[in-house]
Structure formats: C-alpha cells, structure tokens
Amino acid sequence: MSLQKNLNAPAAFTTVPNFPKPSDAWDRESFWQFAEQAKEATEALADQKMKALAHLPVDALRQFCTQYRFFTIDYISDLALLLAKLPFGGLRSLLSQILSEELGEGDANRAHPALYDRFLASIDVAPERLEQRLPANHAILSGLSDELAQRDPAFGVGLRGMGGECLCQTYLSVMFEHLRVHPFIRDHEGSIDWEFWTIHTGEEDIVHGELTRAAIDQYIREEPAVLPELARGYERSITAWNQFWENIFDACVQRPRTVS
C-alpha cells in the first residue's frame, strides 16, 4: 500500500506506510524521504482522528490525556537505555542533553512527567486515576523497551531517538491543536498549567528536532551500515505509535466508559 493511498484512506491508525524499497537498499536520501512521508501521512491520519477530541465529554477527555502520561514516563528509561548502547559521538552527547532536560536538569519538579502531571491536575484529573493505564498500551511500551534492550543501537535510534521526526511527536502536536479548542479547555485556559505543552509544541521543540536530525544525519554519514537497522526501528515505531493511539481512541473515544 502506498503512502498516498494511506492519506486517502478512512482514518485508522493501523493503516501505516510500508517501506518503499528492500531494507538493504537504503541510502541517506531515501531514508529521510521515507521519514518525511511517514510524518506527513501520520499528521493527516492523526488530524482526522483527533478532531473527535474537541467533542469528547470532559471526563473522557481527562482519560484520554491521562494515557499519554505513561509515554512520557517510559520515554525517559528508553532514552537512557539507548544512550547506554550508542557509540561516542554527537548523537550520543545530544541525546544525553535531551535526557537531562527530560529529567528536569536536577530538579525533580521540572522532570517532564512531573510537568505533565501538573497539566493533568490542572484539568482536574484525580490523583487516584493517574495510575489507570491501558493494559494494551502497557504491553506496547514494555515490548518496545525489550526490543531496545535486545537490538542494535541503530534500531533503537529509529525507534526512540528520532526527535522531531519521531511520530510520537507528530501525534502530540496534533493532539494539542484539537485539545485546546475543547470547550472545557477554552473555559479554563487561564488556570491550566501549559508548561509541558509550551516545551513540547513550541520553539524549543523545533530546535530539538533540528539538532536531532542533524546528529542522526551525521551518525549515518559516519556509519552508513546502520541504515537498514535504523529504518527497521523507524518502521517499528510507526506500527507501535499507531497502535498506541488506536488503543487510546478505542478506550476513551469509542467506549469512553470502559476506562474508569
């Protein structure tokens, strides 16, 4: 199935672009082209699906937002795992800086999961509901951590280290666009803690994305043999994040009472 067909297909997160060529035939150009196409296709699919956010009952919206919390928590340990495996160089150093920021640079209150929890508290997610994660998404995140541990670092870069090209980031940006037009969010705009979103959907995130892309490009230039595993990791991330969000939609949008 081509990317174009995916763009025209009914919205379903499980519809994903396939590799345009055998994975041993990648070069830098075709890899980045594939990443850009996948990002565009994901943006279009996510936009179709996330339109529903603006019309969700407020409690379902809270459940929806709560599920992303588990991504922010597991991202930190996956990034640390990836760092442990990467060779010395620009990409490893850059990802270590990003990890330090994720951790709040020494201030636990500024760790990104803490910022996200403050956002959740400001939209009245009750503390006792913070641990209610979807089992299917727990399985996805654990599975990715296992793969990261077992496979080559290049696979891990494709899976977890793609920065602005990462499709999880694409979903987050689209989610933000639709989230902020929800009537409850608009009515409470002034009292909502936006810091997590300012960091992850603003200028800071664009700079991160550019730096990460440049560092990965340099990584490829220095070790072109990593390309097939890098591409496989990226392909795996497409499937995983599509399924991750599909599960959230199934639980919070199609059947909002099933997560309680």
CA distances from 99 to 3, 32, 75, 151 (A): 32, 24, 9, 20
CB of 159 to Fe ion, least distance (A): 16
Cα angle, residue 199 at apex, residues 172 and 17 outer, rounded to 5°? 25
- Residue at shortest CB range from Fe ion: 112
Residue with smaller CB distance to Fe ion, 11 or 121 = 121
Nearer to Fe ion, 188 or 213 (CB): 213
* Contact characters 209-248, Fe ion, x per CB under 5 A: ----------------------------------------
CB of 201 to Fe ion, least distance (A): 11
The beta-strand segments (E) located in 79-131 are none
Q: Give the nearest distance from C-beta 116 to Fe ion in angstroms.
A: 8
Does position 69 bind Fe ion by CB under 5 A?
A: no
To Fe ion, the closest distance from the beta carbon of 112 in angstroms equals: 4
Residue-by-residue DSSP string for 127-150? GGGTT---HHHHHHHHHHHHHHHH
Residue with smaller CB distance to Fe ion, 205 or 229: 205
* Residue 221: CB minimum distance to Fe ion, A: 27
Query: Cα–chain-centroid distance for residue 176?
Result: 13
Q: Based on CB atoms, which residue is closest to Fe ion, 172 or 192?
A: 172
Measured between alpha carbons, how far is 102 from 115 in angstroms, rounded to an integer? 10
Helix-helix angle 153-160:58-85, to 10 degrees: 160
* Tokens (6 digits) for 208: 């991160």
Which C-beta is closer to Fe ion: that of 83 or that of 253? 83
> Of the two residues 52 and 81, which places its CB atom closer to Fe ion in the complex?
81
The CB-of-136 to Fe ion minimum distance in angstroms stands at 23
Would you say 87 or 202 has its CB closer to Fe ion?
202
* Phi/psi-derived region of residue 202, left when phi > 0, alpha when psi is between -120 and 50, beta in every other case: beta
Question: Of 158, 236, 174, 169, nearest to 207 (Cα)?
Answer: 169
Q: Is the dihedral of CA 4, 6, 9, 11 positive or negative?
A: negative
* Cα distance between residue 196 and residue 233, in whole Å: 27
> Other C-beta atoms within 10 Å of 54: how many?
16
Report in angstroms how near the CB of residue 72 gets to Fe ion at its nearest: 6
Site for Fe ion in 112-171 (CB under 5 A): 112
Q: Residues 74-113: x/- map of binding to Fe ion (CB under 5 A)?
A: --------------------------------------x-
Residues that contact Fe ion, how many (by CB under 5 A) = 1
Length of the chain: 260
Contact footprint for Fe ion (CB under 5 A): 112
